[in-house]
Structure 1
């Protein structure tokens, strides 16, 4: 499951749990694009509740929409990832180093307040 919530004029909150299949991935990508409309220099808060790799069919859908996903990512400057999985923390922060213009920082799920403060530049 992937749930997308527009949290103000420049922020998306995204909850991730379970394994995404192809239909779930299609709906999630549509929702991300729709709810990011009008965002510039935005922020994202990912709450990774229970992560499982997407199905191969879901990955194929994501790859087929790569140009629109790159435009989507370009709307954001900061992303905070809430996860208790060490490997996801490492992978998230590595991804941030590979994406120009997007700073990604990972926090334990219990530190949501610290993640939100960082997103808002109050840290």
Structure 2
């Protein structure tokens, strides 16, 4: 499952669970682009629930859309990741170190209020 919700003018809340296949990845990327059209200097809150790596076909879809995803990611300055899976938190923060202009911080899922405060800070 992949759900995207606009929260205010500058924030997306994204819920991810399970394993995405190619069709779900295509829909997810389209939804991210559509719901971020008017966002500038934005924030994202990812709630990662029982996440599994996407299928190889889904990764292929994501790789084929890299130019659009680069434009998408440039709209954001901060991302908070909520997860109880340690590997998801570590990978998320590593991604933040590799993406210029985007700071990513990971939190336990029970620390949603702290994550939201960090996004606004």
TM-score interval (norm. to shorter): over 0.9
Segments of structure 1 that go 5 or more residues without pairing to the other structure are: none
- Equivalent residue, structure 2, for 1:118: 118
Distance 2:89 2:18 in 1: 17
Instruction: Give the C-alpha shift of residue 29 in structure 1.
Output: 0.4
The TM-score with structure 2 as length reference comes to 0.99
- Equivalent residue, structure 2, for 1:80: 80
- Equivalent residue, structure 2, for 1:47: 47
The TM-score with structure 1 as length reference comes to 0.97
Instruction: Give the C-alpha shift of residue 116 in structure 1.
Output: 0.1
Distance 1:92 1:107 in 2: 10
Q: For this pair of structures, how many residues does the alignment match? A: 121
- Equivalent residue, structure 2, for 1:96: 96
Instruction: Give the C-alpha shift of residue 88 in structure 1.
Output: 1.0
Q: Could you list the structure 1 runs, at least 4 aligned residues long, displaced by more than 3 angstroms after superposition.
A: none
